[in-house]
Amino acid sequence: GAVVSQHPSWVICKSGTSVKIECRSLDFQATTMFWYRQFPKQSLMLMATSNEGSKATYEQGVEKDKFLINHASLTLSTLTVTSAHPEDSSFYICSARTSGGVEQYFGPGTRLTVT
């Protein structure tokens, strides 16, 4: 149980275009989902926390107009990278947690390359 999927697993896009990444909890309801970014040989950096039905809370330094997060249902959250640039190339990982739960269940990650 507690499986989280992400789609796509990798994507290449051109500079200036937008990319949407989906995060799904397959066998549980995720009231809270988290989005992380991980650059090569670095740690996971929390970008934002999203709660179902409400606006996401962004970490300091993360542009909310650039990284659009939608958590429209208890099983789906999306991250849209708008007007992507090469410096946005990274490994994006989501995680999900149940209401009142402690453990976060991580998705497999999405490798984004912006050319």
Partner 1 sequence: GENVEQHPSTLSVQEGDSAVIKCTYSDSASNYFPWYKQELGKRPQLIIDIRSNVGEKKDQRIAVTLNKTAKHFSLHITETQPEDSAVYFCAASLNYGGATNKLIFGTGTLLAVQP
Our CB check for partner 1 shows the closer of 27 and 103 to be: 103
| Beta-ladder partners of 25 | 4
Number of residues that bind partner 1 (CB under 8 A): 23
The yes or no reply on residue 100 touching partner 1 (CB under 8 A) is yes
In angstroms, the CA 14 to CA 45 distance is 24
Owner of token pair 């990319």? 19
Q: What tokens does 102 get? A: 């402690």
Contact 71, 35 (CB under 8 A): no
**Exposed/middle/buried for residue 2 (C-beta within 10 Å: 0-12, 13-18, 19+):** middle
C-beta closer to partner 1: residue 82 or 89:
89
Q: Which of 24, 33, 67, 107 binds partner 1 (CB under 8 A)?
A: 107
One character per residue 20-59, x = contact with partner 1 (rule: CB under 8 A):
-----------xx-x-------xxxxx--x-x-----x--
Residues that bind partner 1 (CB under 8 A): 31-32, 34, 42-46, 49, 51, 57, 91, 93, 97, 100, 102-104, 106-109, 111
